Amino acid sequence: AQSVTQLDSHVSVSEGTPVLLRCNYSSSYSPSLFWYVQHPNKGLQLLLKYTSAATLVKGINGFEAEFKKSETSFHLTKPSAHMSDAAEYFCVVSDLYVGNTPLVFGKGTRLSVIA
Amino acid sequence: EAQVTQNPRYLITVTGKKLTVTCSQNMNHEYMSWYRQDPGLGLRQIYYSMNVEVTDKGDVPEGYKVSRKEKRNFPLILESPSPNQTSLYFCASSPQTGVNTEAFFGQGTRLTVV
Task: Write out pLDDT tens, residues A5-49.
Answer: 999 999 999 999 999 999 999 987 778 889 999 998 788 999 998
What pLDDT, in 10s, does the model give residues B68-106?
Answer: 999 999 999 999 999 999 999 999 998 866 555 778 999
Q: Do A101 and B48 touch (CB under 8 A)?
A: yes
Cα distance between residue B25 and residue A86, in whole Å: 28
Q: Do B105 and A102 touch (CB under 8 A)?
A: no
**Per-residue pLDDT at A54:** 82
B85 touches chain A (CB under 8 A): no
Q: How far apart are the first and last CA of chain B?
A: 36
Pairing of strands B87-94, A3-6: unpaired
Average pLDDT over residues A69-91: 96
Chain A positions touching B105 (Cβ under 8 A) are 36, 43-45
Q: In A1-115, which ranges are continuous DSSP H helix?
A: none
CB B96 within 8 A of CB A94: no
Q: Do A96 and B99 touch (CB under 8 A)?
A: yes
Q: Do A108 and B42 touch (CB under 8 A)?
A: yes
Average pLDDT over residues A74-78: 97
Find residues 37-76 of chain A whose CB sits inside 8 Å of chain B. Answer: 42-46, 49, 51-52
Chain B positions touching A36 (Cβ under 8 A) are 105
CB neighbour class for A45 (10 Å; exposed up to 12, middle 13-18, buried from 19): middle
Residues 6 or more apart from B80 whose CB is under 8 A from it?
B15, B16, B18, B63
Q: Measured between CA atoms, how close is A27 to chain B, in angstroms?
A: 12
Query: Cα–chain-centroid distance for residue A78?
Result: 11
CB B9 within 8 A of CB B109: yes
Which of B48, B92, B99 lies nearest to residue A30, judging by beta carbons?
Answer: B99
Where does the pLDDT of residue B61 fall: very low under 50, low under 70, confident under 90, or very high at 90 and above?
A: very high
Q: Measured between CA atoms, how close is A9 to chain B, in angstroms?
A: 8
Handedness of CA A8, A9, A14, A18 (dihedral sign): positive
